[in-house]
Amino acid sequence: MLRVTFLGTGGSLPTPERNPSAIMVNREGELMLFDCGEGTQQQMMRAKTGMKALSSIFITHFHADHILGIPGLIQTMSFHGRTEPLKIYGPHWVHEFAKILSALGYYKLRFEIDAIDLNPGDIIKRDEYSIMALKTEHSIPSLGYALIENERIGKFNRQKAIDLGVQPGPLFSKLHRGESVEVDGKLIHSKDVVGDGRPGRKIVYTGDTRPCKAILEASKDADLLIHDSTLASDQQEWAIESMHSTAQEAAALAKEANVLRLVLTHISSRYSDDASQLFEEAKDIFEKVVVAEDMMELDIPYKDKK
Ligand SMILES: [Zn+2]
Ligand SMILES: [Zn+2]
């Protein structure tokens, strides 16, 4: 399973319709939170994402609308008896932030916070996927993130193996693992019966940014791009000044990167209840686009299973 739940889709200010930025990714039961604006824990409760399996929080930058939900969330998890450490990744200043978190108020967390600061280009390697930190262009130090799954082993052609004289059983597993086997003095190679490796899935999240090179490169053929889309095109100058993107700019980048799907987020409070202008402007450039809504859920299938 690879599920993305949009917990907060507003830009800078919370509104009655939209919480500040927070995106939950559930990958095979492991939860990862990308940004954690004010009120995120209640959004998690509403969306029933759970909290126990939260392994990591990835912060794009230290503007209040991306981090204020963390103090409340960690206290709740401590109250519920969490003892497993929580990893918090972010750009420079994440250690100072973690210190503030543990000094805040009269309480003692029952679990450790591992603060890890990242530079653009850093890669966190895990068993089945990696997270890459991307250089973004905002008014303070900032990062985007790409979640990139490892390539999966190719498909096993069962019939072809039988035709080559291999008996179903342990030899099948050997071949599928990439080993060669001998049958009646004849050597059969893995590549004879196992197809090419199949791509894993890729999700890119920009955080707050102008359209930029690192995002474009990381988004090449991505299954999902979640892009800053704070403003409409008539606010282009303000987008440049405040270092955000317009819906058109996000769409143009998605098109150039050939992504499968684009989600617009960080929607300015001025479009909070009606983001149709953003949607229409983006759709003229890139067809497969939606404007994120709080509580929206997307399941990301493998490309070869569509
Ligand atoms: Zn923001
Ligand atoms: Zn910001």
Q: How far apart are CA 32 and CA 40, in angstroms?
A: 13
Residue pair 173/211 in contact by the 8 Å Cβ criterion:
no
| Model confidence pLDDT, tens digit, residues 131-156 | 999 999 999 999 999 999 999 989 99
207 CA from centroid of ligand 1 (Å) = 7
- Catalytic residue list contains 65: yes
Known binder of ligand: residue 65?
yes
Which residues in the chain land under pLDDT 50?
none
Phi, psi of 158 (to 5 degrees): -60, -45
If asked whether residues 18 and 41 sit together in one domain, one would say: yes
CATH of the domain at 247: 3.60.15.10
8 CA from centroid of ligand 1 (Å) = 11
Return the ligand number nearest the Cα of 21: 1
66 CA from centroid of ligand 1 (Å) = 6
If asked whether residues 132 and 261 sit together in one domain, one would say: yes
If asked whether residues 145 and 175 sit together in one domain, one would say: no
User: Which whole-number Å values give the CA distances from 293 to 8, 162, 252, in the listed order?
Assistant: 8, 51, 21
Residue pair 109/102 in contact by the 8 Å Cβ criterion:
yes
If asked whether residues 146 and 162 sit together in one domain, one would say: no
| Model confidence pLDDT, tens digit, residues 61-91 | 999 999 999 999 999 999 999 999 999 999 9
205 CA from centroid of ligand 2 (Å) = 14
Number of domains, the chain? 2
Which of the residues 65, 117, 223, 228 is marked catalytic? 65
If asked whether residues 241 and 260 sit together in one domain, one would say: yes
Return the ligand number nearest the Cα of 141: 2
Instruction: Give the gyration radius of the chain's Cα atoms.
Output: 22
User: Which whole-number Å values give the CA distances from 212 to 28, 123, 169, in the listed order?
Assistant: 31, 19, 51
DSSP, collapsed to helix, strand or coil, labels residue 284 as coil
Known binder of ligand: residue 66?
yes
If asked whether residues 67 and 172 sit together in one domain, one would say: no
If asked whether residues 95 and 170 sit together in one domain, one would say: no
If asked whether residues 101 and 169 sit together in one domain, one would say: no
If asked whether residues 165 and 93 sit together in one domain, one would say: no
If asked whether residues 131 and 96 sit together in one domain, one would say: yes
Residues with Cβ–ion distance below 5 A, ligand 1: 65, 208
What residue spans of the chain are helical by DSSP H?
Answer: 40-47, 64-67, 70-79, 94-103, 158-163, 170-176, 190-193, 213-218, 236-242, 247-257, 276-283
Farthest-apart Cα atoms in the chain, separation: 74
If asked whether residues 94 and 54 sit together in one domain, one would say: yes
Domain range for residue 175?
158-193
If asked whether residues 173 and 147 sit together in one domain, one would say: no
